[in-house]
Amino acid sequence: MSASDDDLDLARVLDALNDADCRAFLDALEEPMTANELSEACDVPLSTTYRKLELLTDATLVDEETEVRSDGRHRSRYRAAFDSLEVAFDDDHDLDLDVERPARGPSERLADIWAEVQKET
């Protein structure tokens, strides 16, 4: 994705990467974690954690997945939504963003669908 394709996404990514708490969350997300787990692992207040997770989600650097539990008390887990990210200048000296995304399996695609259904209700 280059800046000419979508300046807003590039700006959101750069804003998120410029935030120390967001970078700490990305570093901690070796496996999916809840907001509470991230808050504790990174020593960030829970209210701040939710704001930073929204920033990361809007920047498409973190995906929110819903963990469906048998007791009906579903919870969100967050995972890094990229394998690598590179920001560079291209041959025309335009800022270019290259994001390598992990392959999405059936369970992750189902989680995406469930998350969209929840947004609609």
Q: What is the mean pLDDT of residues 36-51?
A: 97
Distances (CA, A) of 44 to 38, 78, 83, 103: 8, 16, 24, 30
The whole-number pLDDT of residue 47 equals 95
Whether 21 and 44 have beta carbons less than 8 Å apart is answered as yes
* E strand or H helix that includes residue 101: none
* Cα–Cα dist 61/101, whole Å: 9
Task: Find tokens 């504790």 and name the residue.
Answer: 40
The whole-number pLDDT of residue 95 equals 82
Q: Is the dihedral of CA 13, 19, 22, 27 positive or negative?
A: positive
Strands 95-100 and 84-89: antiparallel
In this predicted model, what pLDDT tens digit does every residue of 75-115 receive, in sequence order? 899 999 998 888 888 888 888 888 888 777 776 677 677 77
Q: What angle do CA 38, 66, 64 make, to 5 degrees?
A: 55
pTM recorded for the entire structure: 0.73
* Cα–Cα dist 59/12, whole Å: 5
User: Domain 5-118 classified CATH 3.40.47.10?
Assistant: no
3-state DSSP assignment of residue 12: helix
